[in-house]
Structure 1
């Protein structure tokens, strides 16, 4: 019995020696698995602040329209633009309203109207508003004409504006009807003007009435909107009646800025 003890001990030692790597591997694997599950079970929370009820959406970057035209202000505040003037009946009344409200707007003027009413253009500039070239005679298909014809039209309109107001800055051009083409955009840019679009159109030119105009503007407006309205081209009684409430609503919700 005592003679077999060393042999048995040797066998046991050999078994333990062979089993040791497996035991160490299993122990390491178990620790790794435990660590992995522990990491999954205890994620680090990321603190978040929920938006407040009625909180405005993030201010959008300046949005472009067809062929890179400008459609928004690029900030929270919205801008008002008035097309097809100056008109001897409606433009003075609109200017009175804007002065009372202490709001500056952009007037997209037609060359033939500028020639007829240069004093109104001078008043627009004198009272701090921005001018925009709206073509010589509101030609809807201007953008489809040859580049040389487009250039002549825009240059003629700019010259008439500057005849009414020497040194006037004309930073914008608006294609009649929003019928933009790559050609008219390129010519406007060559002449140093930004092609100016819009993203709110209450269709006030169709004379839907003051209530409808106000409702459409307020419903369509978003942070940075450019609003299209008219001070010329027809009876603008509805537009004039809507403007005070439109201005109040937009100012309260977004603020009103001037395109410069």
Structure 2
């Protein structure tokens, strides 16, 4: 009979993906895969502690400068690190620098936790992802190399058919829906050695009728107006959606569901 591993604490490091956008709670805050994972781990481990240092919009340099030392000092059983994807989506990106900074993050975290978890981030199917795919795959190659060198686990979300399905992405086309986050939590849960709750998390949702041409064009226009143009504006002015925002769970404390 398979038993649950004994992990007594979790610290999540990263950007909007780990903060939990767009898994919106009724109070206006975000839940996301890391919160879902923490709730599961807490349910099987009394006294389980959890911190989430991730903040939306952060580039890998900001993650290294603002989150890594704090996370390392917590000496958690498990630390998850997902970063660098925001860099790859910028018009200009120094992939050598991204690789160096990700390497620095792993080297500073791995000795100070029981298990470091890295990810090959999911990618929504579409022309935008195709444009940036070579950068993304270069980032994931670095993730694989660092994991092998430092004994980290890698969760391959990039290769999961379900997480490429457009129906698991929010209207902003950058963040997963609640079901997408649930599937990520399941993937990490299984990678850590817990018994599967959803063995088929990688399978896409059941087929549905595609939206009509007018509905697709209306969705495209709404996306451009509400999400694409503001995103471009922030890039042009050097602003970030996370400017001035603190982490939602900055301390490693006993988990309490909201």
Is TM more than 0.5 here?
no
Q: Kindly name which structure, 1 or 2, has the bigger radius of gyration based on alpha carbons.
A: 1
Q: Please give the TM-score of this superposition, normalised by the length of structure 2.
A: 0.33
